[in-house]
Amino acid sequence: MDNDFYHSEWDQLPENVKVTAQLFGTLAQTIFSYFNDETIKISPLNFMILMDITSNPGTSMSESAERIGISKPQLSRSVSKLEVLHMIKRVHNTENRRNVNVYPDKEGSDLMAQQFRRVADRLDETFSILSPEDRSRLVSLMTESLEILSKAGIVPK
């Protein structure tokens, strides 16, 4: 990739877009680095799918594919792999048998609980260098940011 092109395109973006992209990118990299890759034993994409299904149990395959940004066939292949590992289960919708809803299975729920605990502990450790005032200010600013981002439809209300 041509770095000059990237930087000139980046420089032309509105400041609110640049700051939001930087914040989300940095937070995503930090949080994903806190997950324990040694115990996960599934691909990063399958892990992202499992995170989505755990956060949205009973979601349709179509909705999950759209949220993650992958094709339905790609999601279906990954869900099949996760089913074999007892991390996800598919259930046909009782109102429309053609629709399939996806739920976390025991192994998937256990893995996500373990990883979220790990991330929470690491974040707490990372924030421990901040003063109580800075931690309180961070919570206030992040809460306000989430409220504003929900108005834009970026985060759920």
Distances (CA, A) of 116 to 4, 18, 32, 113: 38, 28, 10, 5
Record the pTM: 0.73
For strands 59-60 and 88-92, give the pairing: unpaired
Q: In what order do the strands lie in the sheet with 100-104?
A: 59-60, 100-104, 88-92
Question: What's the CA gap between 83 and 20, in Å, rounded?
Answer: 35
pLDDT of residue 96 exceeding 80, the answer is no
What is the CB neighbour count within 10 angstroms for residue 131? Answer: 8
Domains and CATH numbers, the chain: 35-151 (1.10.10.10)
Question: What's the CA gap between 130 and 121, in Å, rounded?
Answer: 15
What pLDDT does 30 receive? Answer: 84
- Note the pLDDT tens digit of each residue in 17-28: 889 888 888 888
What pLDDT does 3 receive? Answer: 56
Give SS3 for 114: helix
